[in-house]
Amino acid sequence: IPITSQVQTAQLTPKHYGITSPISLAQPKEADLVLTQKLIETLRPFGVFEEELELQRRILVLGKLNTLVQVWIREISQAKNIPSSVIDNVCGKIFTFGSYRLGVHTKGADIDALCVAPRHLERSDFFSSFYEKLKEQEEVKDLRAVEEAFVPVIKLSFDGIEIDILFARLALQTIPENLDLRDDGLLKNLDIRCIRSLNGCRVTDEILHLVPNIENFRLTLRAIKLWAKRHNIYSNILGFLGGVSWAMLVARTCQLYPNAVASTLVHKFFLVFSKWEWPNPVLLKQPEDCNLNLPVWDPRVTPSDRYHLMPIITPAYPQQNSTYNVSTSTRAIMVEEFKRGLAITDEILLNKAEWSKLFEAPNFFQKYKHYIVLLASAQTEKQHLEWVGLVESKIRILVGNLEKNEFITLAHVNPQSFPGPKEESEKEEFSTIWVIGVVFKKMEGPENLNVDLTFDIQSFTDTVYRQAITSKMFEADMKITAMHVKRKQLQQLLPKVAIQRSKRKHSSDGLRVMNDGSLDLSVDSDNSMSVPSPTGPSAAKIAPGRSGSIFGRSRTQEVKVPLFPAHVQHGSPHGGSSVLPQTSLCPLPPPSPLVQCKEKEMSYPKTSM
């Protein structure tokens, strides 16, 4: 990627971008160009740039898909007795959005696509006849339709490239080749699912339209997305930021420094957002009202919008906050990372550090003293995929519960999940693990402290089970296990590749199963915890702790957490008088490998890091 394509230095940017004046119109210096070239070379080994051959393959696949759409629309038009004179001019089109449309997709990334069709085609046609047409293509594999989703989608692999296709039917007789989806008039008389489907394309196109220099924007966004992923803060569903939110933050930085090149923009990104006064919103343009009466983000009108902690507002009507999942903890974690990024880029600009330092992945599993490990398991691969999707979508509820606990200051969920330890039993089981780092408040005084997380975790699992039952996806073998563990015990639960073991060896850092079925973690420690057995008379007791916790040498800190899975009892999970279990009532499951793996090697399937 030559530097000449990164920068326009001939003249000052004539157009005004954004809702405020630029902070600086300074042109790049030679040192900035050199640093930008170094940034490119640092990014290359991470696979953020796609090779030309791969790019051409994507273009070819999208061309084939577009042709399929055209043929399908003609066939449906004929079947609906549309006049032949009209059919000759009827067209549909495939549009792309997301990282591919922004030009920042990485090697092997999927493509988000939108099938836009004229008014006489129905959504039901897309999910029936077009689905069947895709099924007939020999290049198409892993075809599945998710028609009942919030944004309905067909997922497939076309010649090895993963593609998600949405559908939107416009109130037009035909789809012109030069159609601009940013036109707000296209939204008139559309159903809400079509508007949602169009939203991805409209937002992506607006972002590209609102940056002064697209190449500078793209390179900066590639760097920021890699940094966010390496620092475990890239996940919309878990309360961090997703791709479109990172794109809007980078676009705002580009507006504020319209003539800067990527090396400068990366530094300015951290400068701007480490000092941003949240919850002031980030806006790329002044919101416009199209009088279509669609709900838009507006804290003056909608009370719930006033509680959003880190609003980043999409630039296309209807404007939405892309970060409504952000919580107190996730915002604090991201702001801290912005500050750390600023300190590192300060060093880089002074030639005191290399770009590689910015992309060093911190060891999440060494960062905290305390962790909660969640394990979701099911008996079949299909059940497991559905179950994991549901559990993951609700983890932010658990984080919110933990944040509200008076003894917890921070709950940091790692966006990366891992395969769970393999069961040594005849029954095959599929499982996934998430890890949440927890920071307890530092308390003063010599008295003992008892931290009970039972309610926080039980209410989370109740929510998940209730949702599974309501949506009729629950199966008896779907389970959630939740445990509080210490830093040193994580190595027994996670794949070796996930944890760099500390140099010191600990002979007493195991998890021990006690006779009554509870866990005794007091063998390790700057704190202790046991899970009471819900089957015995000691259910309400907590094992004695050891002094020397994070609360001070003279203090004892005890943490009580239920050991799940909690099974649905007394009735069918698919209806009738199902009762969500209470922790104190549900029997413990057979001993899990989660608590048996001290002395033996665990085997894990391969996982992509």
DSSP letters spanning 516-528: TS-EE-TTSTTSE
**Mean pLDDT, to the nearest integer, of 545-549?**
27
For the ranges 101-105, 206-210, 597-601, the lowest mean pLDDT is seen at 597-601
Res. 576: pLDDT tops 70 = no
Q: What pLDDT is recorded for position 423? A: 63
**Mean pLDDT, to the nearest integer, of 389-416?**
92
DSSP for residue 468? H
Q: What pLDDT is recorded for position 39? A: 98
Q: Binning pLDDT at 50, 70 and 90, where does residue 452 land?
A: confident
Q: Binning pLDDT at 50, 70 and 90, where does residue 420 land?
A: confident
Q: Is there a binding annotation on residue 164?
A: yes
Q: Is there a binding annotation on residue 159?
A: no
Question: What's the rounded Cα separation, in Å, for the pair 314 and 11?
Answer: 30
Q: What pLDDT is recorded for position 592? A: 31
Q: Is there a binding annotation on residue 243?
A: yes
Q: Is there a binding annotation on residue 183?
A: no
Res. 335: pLDDT tops 90 = yes
Q: Are 253 and 275 in contact (CB under 8 A)?
A: no
Residues 6+ apart with CB under 8 A from 574: 469, 472, 474
pLDDT digits (tens, 9 = 90+) for 172-193: 888 888 899 999 999 988 989 9
Q: What pLDDT is recorded for position 484? A: 86
Q: Is there a binding annotation on residue 552?
A: no
Res. 558: pLDDT tops 80 = no
Structural domains of the chain sorted by starting position, each given as residue range(s) with its CATH number in brackets: 30-46+212-358 (1.10.1410.10), 52-206 (3.30.460.10), 364-443+452-501 (3.30.70.590)
DSSP for residue 435? E
Q: Coil, strand or helix: which one is 211?
A: coil
Encoded amino acid at 576, one letter: G
Instruction: Look up the pTM and report it.
Output: 0.78
Beta bridge partners of 140: 158
The dihedrals phi and psi of 156, each to the nearest 5 degrees, come to: -160, 165
Q: What pLDDT is recorded for position 519? A: 28
E strand segments, 487-580: 512-513, 519-520, 528-529, 547-549, 552-560
Q: What pLDDT is recorded for position 256? A: 97
Res. 566: pLDDT tops 60 = no
Question: What's the rounded Cα separation, in Å, for the pair 239 and 242?
Answer: 9
Annotated active-site positions, please? 99, 110, 112, 164, 225, 234
Q: Which residue has the higher pLDDT, 477 or 241?
A: 241
Q: Is there a binding annotation on residue 106?
A: yes
Q: Report percent pLDDT > 90 for the chain.
A: 55
Q: What pLDDT is recorded for position 567? A: 34
Res. 572: pLDDT tops 50 = no
